[in-house]
Structure 1
Amino acid sequence: MHDDAHPFLQQTPLSVNPFIDLPKPPTLPHNYASLPSTLPPSSIHAAPAPSNPELPAYVTSSSGFAAHPSAIVAQNRALLSQLSSQRQGGEKKVREWEEGIKERELQDKRRKAPGWLDSEAKLLQPQKKQESQAVGGGQVDLMDQPEAEEDAKKKQEQVRTADELGHAMDRAFGRSEMG
C-alpha cells in the first residue's frame, strides 16, 4: 500500500511549469574545507576569569587574556570615566591659563593707563571752563581777547625757556656757530 501512489494522484496529468526552478546543488568554492569532526569545548563552561573568579572567562585572546564580558564592560566604563575626567581637567586648566593671560594683559594695560580700566566711564568729554565773567546773557564767547592774550603769554614763556636752555647749553659746552 505504501509503494503504490494514491489512485487520485495517478489520474492527475503531470505538467511542467517554466516559471518554477527546482533546487540545484550548490557549487562549493575551491578552498572549501569541511568542518572538523570534533568541536572545541563550550566557552560557557570555561575556567573562571582571573579578574573575577565568580564569572567564567569565555572571552579569550591569543595573547592569553581571558575575561568575562561584564568585566570588559566595567573596564571600558572605568576607562571612559577616567578619560572624561582628564578631558574636563584639561579644559579647566586651559580656561585658567587663558584667564591668566587676559588678567596679565589687563594688569599691563592698567600700568600704562591707571584709573582708565577701573571705571565704567569710557567716553572722555572735555569739561567746560567755569568763568566768573560772562559776556552777554551768561554765554562765554570763545573768541574773547583775554584768552588770546593768555595764549600769547604762554608762547612767550615757552620761547624764553627755550632760550634759557640754549644759553645754558652754550655755557656748558661752549658756543658753536654754524656757517
Structure 2
Amino acid sequence: MHDERSHPLLQQTPLSVNPFIDLPKPPTLPHNYASLPSTLPPSSLSAPPAASNPELPAYVTSSSGFAAHPATIIAQNKALLEQLKKQRTEAEKKVKDWEQSIADRELAEKRRKAPGWLDSEQHLLQPAKKAEPEEQMNLMDEPEPVVMEENKKRERTAQDLGAAMDRAFGRSEMG
C-alpha cells in the first residue's frame, strides 16, 4: 500500500523561506512565437540517391538544386585539390625551364663574345703561339710593292663604285 503523503522524516523538518533564493519562473514568449510542428519531416538519410553517386543518398542539397552525399563532395574536392597541385607543379616546371632557357641564351651570347672564357677554369686569355717560329715580319716592314698594289685596288674599287652610282642616278657635275 502506497501513501501519497510525504516521507515521515521530511515531515519532521521545519521549512523556512530563504530570501536569497529565487525560484524559477516560466519564461515570457515573444509575440511571434510559433509552436513546433507535431510531425517531423522525413529523414534526410532516406533521401533519393544522387545522380553523381547512385549508391549513396543525396541529403546535402543546395538552393540551385544540387544534391549529393558528403562522401561524394569530399571526393570531388580531393580530386580538385590534386588537379590544382598538378597544375601548380607543371607551372613551376615551365617557369623553371623558361628561366633556364634565358640563362642558356645569355651564356651562349657571352661565349659568342668571348669564346673559351666560360668553357674552362682558365680565365687568362693569351694569344696562341705558333709551333714553328718562322721568320717573323712586322706589319710595318711590308715591302713597298704590296702596299702600292693594295692602294691601286682600292682606287679601282672606288672608281667602279662611282661608275655604278653614275649609271644608277645619272652623272652629276660639281662646280
Task: Return the TM-score normalized by structure 2.
Answer: 0.63
Q: Deviations over 1:1-43 (max 9, x none)?
A: 6443233222211123455443333344555433233322110
Structure 1 residues 124-171: Cα deviation after superposition (integer angstroms, max 9, x where no partner): 499xxxxxxxxxxxxxxxxxxxxxxxxxxx9xx7xxxxxxxxxx9xxx
2 CA distance for matches of 1:121 and 1:34? 93
Considering only aligned residues, what root-mean-square deviation do their CA atoms show, in Å? 2.8
User: What is the aligned partner in structure 2 of residue 56 from structure 1?
Assistant: 57
Unaligned runs of 5+ in 2: 127-137, 141-150, 156-175
Deviation at 1:67, TM superposition (A): 1.0
- Once the 2 structures are TM-superposed, how far is the Cα of residue 101 of structure 1 from its aligned partner? 0.7
User: How far did residue 91 of structure 1 move?
Assistant: 0.4
2:6 equivalent in structure 1: 5
Share of identical aligned residues, percent?
A: 72
AA aligned to 1:100 is: S
Q: Is the 8 A contact 2:60 2:69 kept in 1?
A: yes
User: Are the structure 2 counterparts of residues 102 and 4 from structure 1 closer, same or farther at C-alpha, using a change threshold of 3 Å?
Assistant: same
Alpha-carbon contact 2:117-2:125 (below 8 Å) kept: no
1:119, distance to aligned residue in structure 2 (A):
1.1
List structure 1 segments (4+ residues) > 6 angstroms apart after TM superposition. none
Whole-Å Cα distance in 1 between the matches of residues 29 and 118 of structure 2? 85
CA distance in structure 1 between the partners assigned to 2:85 and 2:33 by the alignment: 48
CA distance in 1, matches of 2:55, 2:94: 42
Give the equivalent residue in structure 1 for 2:48: 47
Q: Report matched runs for 1:15-164 at 5 Å.
A: 15-18=16-19, 20-29=21-30, 31-122=32-123, 124=124
Partner AA of 1:69 in structure 2: P
Separation of aligned partners in 2, 1:85 and 1:13: 80
Aligned residues of 2:48 and 2:57 also touching (Cα < 8 A): yes
Distance across 1 between alignment mates of 2:9 and 2:56: 63
Letter in 2 for 1:68: H
Which blocks of at least 5 consecutive residues in structure 1 are unaligned? 127-153, 158-167, 173-179
SS of aligned partner of 1:56: coil
Give, in whole Å, the separation in 1 of the partners of 2:64 and 2:77. Answer: 19
Distance 1:2 1:90, change over 3 A: same
1:32–1:107 CA distance, 2 compared to 1 (3 A): farther
User: Number of paired residues?
Assistant: 130
